[in-house]
Amino acid sequence: MTSVSSYETQSLTDPALYDEPWGFYAWLRNEHPVWFDAGTGMYAVSRHADVMEVSRNQEYFSAAQGVRPVDVVPLSIVAMDDPEHARQRRILSRGFTPRQVKQLTEHVRELTNSVIDEVEGSGEIDFVRDLARHVPLIVIAELLGLDPALVDELYEWSEAMMGGEGQTDLESPAIIRAAEAFEQYTTLVSKVIEQRRQEPQDDLLSVLTTAFDEGELDYDEHMKAQIDGLSSMEELSDQELLMFCVLLMVAGNETTRNAIAGGLRAFTLFPEQKELLSRNPELIDGAVEEIVRWTSPVLNFARTVVKPVTLGGVELQPGDRLLLLYQSANRDETVFEQPDEFRIDRHPNPHLAFGNGTHYCMGANLARMEIKVVFQELFRRLPDIEVVDAATAPERNPSAFVAAMKRMPARFTPVAP
C-alpha cells in the first residue's frame, strides 16, 4: 500500500499514478482537498463540491488559458470561455440533439449486433480491441462522413494522438508518432470537408462545414493568437474545424470505449448487479449513469484562476493552475454512499463524469445511448460474459488524461453462428 509520504511526492502528470489512484484520491479528499503539487506547479482539486464550483464559475476559473497541464495545441471548444464558447456550442450542438441521437439508436443496435456476430463463436476475446472500441469509432466515423472500414486506422490514430498528450520533449517518439497521426487524420478529414463543401450530405460534418463557411462561428483575438501562421479568418475556420474533428474523434472514441470496457469490469466485480439488471431491465438507464460514475473515463481537466479566490480553504491568485480530478469527485464519500461500490440503482447519482456547467459534455446523450445499447445487446446475446481476473487493474495505455484501457481479456460461453 502506498504510504502518505509517497503520496506527497506524487506527480499529477505521471500516467502511472492513475493506474490505481483510489488511495491517493481518498488521501487528497480527507487531508488536502486542494493540494499543491510542487513538481507540476498545479493544485489538485479532489472534492465533489470544489470540482463543481470550479466548473461552474467562469468569473474566477478560466478554460481559455489551457485545459491540460501542457497544451500542445488548443483543444477547440473545450479551451474557450463564454461568450466565444457559447457561440460555438450553439452551432456544434446541432449534431447532437436528442432527436438525432434517438434516430441513431437502432443503427447503433445493428452495429452492436454485427460486432457480436464476429466474436460470439470464440468464447475468449480482448474486450477492448474486439468489441468495446468498435461501436464508438464507427459512429464517430459515420458522423464525420469517414469510411467505417477505417476503424483500425482511426483507432491507431486516436491512440497515437492520446499518447502524445502531456509530452514536453518534441523529439520524443510519442510526440513524433502523435504528430504523424494528427497529420494523417486531418489530411483525411480535410478531403472530406472539401467534398462536403461541394456536395453536402446528411452528416455532422456537412452541418459544421456549412456553419463555418457562413460565418456563424466567430473567434476572439485570444483564440486567433493560439494558432501560429494563420492570416485569414477562412484559414482559421478551417483549422478550428479540423481541431474540433480531432477533439470529436478522441473524445467520442476514448471516453465511450473506456466506459464500456470499465462497465463490463464493474459488472464482473459486482455480479449481483448484473443479476439485478437481468431481473429488472428497466434499470438500464440507472446502470449507464453508474457505469459512467464508477469508471469516470476522463481523469481530469485544468483551469486557470483569473481573480483572487479561496477554494477548499486555500487562497488562490490569478495565474494559479488547477487540475479537476473527476474520478476523485465521483468517489466523494460526502456525496455518494459507499462510493467504491457499483450500484445500478444508485439514486440520486450527481456524478461529474460529463463535467458540469457551461462545458458539460456536448455528446453526453450520444455516449449514454451507445453504452445502453451495447450492454442491452451484449447481455442478451452473451449473458455470462465476464472479465478475466477483473480484480487486477486492467492494462492501460500510459495516460494522465483518460482511463485508457489497452487490453482486457474476457470470456463467455461460445455461441454457434
Give the pLDDT confidence of 78-124 residue by residue, as tens digits: 999 998 888 778 877 877 888 888 989 999 999 999 999 999 999 99
How far are the Cα atoms of 114, 119, 133, 147, 299 from residue 111, in angstroms, in the given order? 5, 13, 12, 14, 28
The answer to whether residues 33 and 46 touch, using CB atoms and an 8 Å cutoff, is: yes
Band (151; pLDDT cuts 50, 70, 90): confident
| Counted domains in the chain | 1
Q: Is position 416 within any domain?
A: no
Model confidence at 220: pLDDT above 50: no
- What would the 3-class secondary structure string for 177-196 be? HHHHHHHHHHHHHHHHHHHH
Q: What is the pTM of this model?
A: 0.91
- For residue 402, the 8-state DSSP code is B
The answer to whether residues 264 and 290 touch, using CB atoms and an 8 Å cutoff, is: no
Sequence-ordered list of residues with C-beta below 8 angstroms from that of 24, at least 6 positions apart, any chain:
2, 7, 10, 17
pLDDT value, residue 233: 33
Q: Is position 179 within any domain?
A: yes
pLDDT value, residue 3: 57
Q: Is 74 left (phi over 0), alpha (psi -120 to 50) or beta?
A: beta
How does pLDDT run across 44-75, given as a tens digit for each residue? 999 999 999 999 999 999 999 999 998 665 56
pLDDT value, residue 89: 83
Percent share of the chain, pLDDT over 70? 90
Q: Is position 417 within any domain?
A: no
Band (258; pLDDT cuts 50, 70, 90): very high
pLDDT value, residue 153: 92
Provide the residue count of the chain. 417
Identify the CA nearest to 394 among candidates 386, 385, 384, 404. 404
Pairing of strands 405-407, 61-62: unpaired
Q: Is position 115 within any domain?
A: yes
Question: Reduced to 3 states, what is the DSSP secondary structure of residue 270?
Answer: coil
Q: Is position 218 within any domain?
A: yes
Q: Is position 401 within any domain?
A: yes
Neighbours of 360 (CB within 10 A): 13
Q: What whole-number distance in Å separates Cα of residue 40 and Cα of residue 69? A: 8
Packing angle of the helix pair 173-198, 233-250 (nearest 10 deg): 120
Q: In the chain, what is the straight-line distance between the N-terminal and C-terminal CA atoms, in Å?
A: 46
pLDDT value, residue 168: 65
Q: For residue 38, give the CATH number of its domain.
A: 1.10.630.10
Q: Is position 293 within any domain?
A: yes
pLDDT value, residue 215: 55
Band (221; pLDDT cuts 50, 70, 90): very low
Note down the domain range covering 326: 4-411
Model confidence at 149: pLDDT above 70: yes
The answer to whether residues 2 and 23 touch, using CB atoms and an 8 Å cutoff, is: yes
Model confidence at 236: pLDDT above 50: no
Q: Is position 146 within any domain?
A: yes
Q: What whole-number distance in Å separates Cα of residue 220 and Cα of residue 197? A: 25
Higher-confidence residue of 148 and 354: namely: 354
Query: Identity (one letter) of the amino acid at 10?
Result: Q
Q: Which of 200-204, 362-366, 404-408 has the lowest mean pLDDT?
A: 200-204
The answer to whether residues 34 and 45 touch, using CB atoms and an 8 Å cutoff, is: yes
Question: In the structure grid, which three cell numbers stand for residue 338, read together?
Answer: 459507499
pLDDT value, residue 91: 75
Q: Give the phi and the psi of residue 234 in degrees, each rounded to 5.
A: -65, -45
Model confidence at 232: pLDDT above 60: no
Higher-confidence residue of 133 and 172: namely: 133
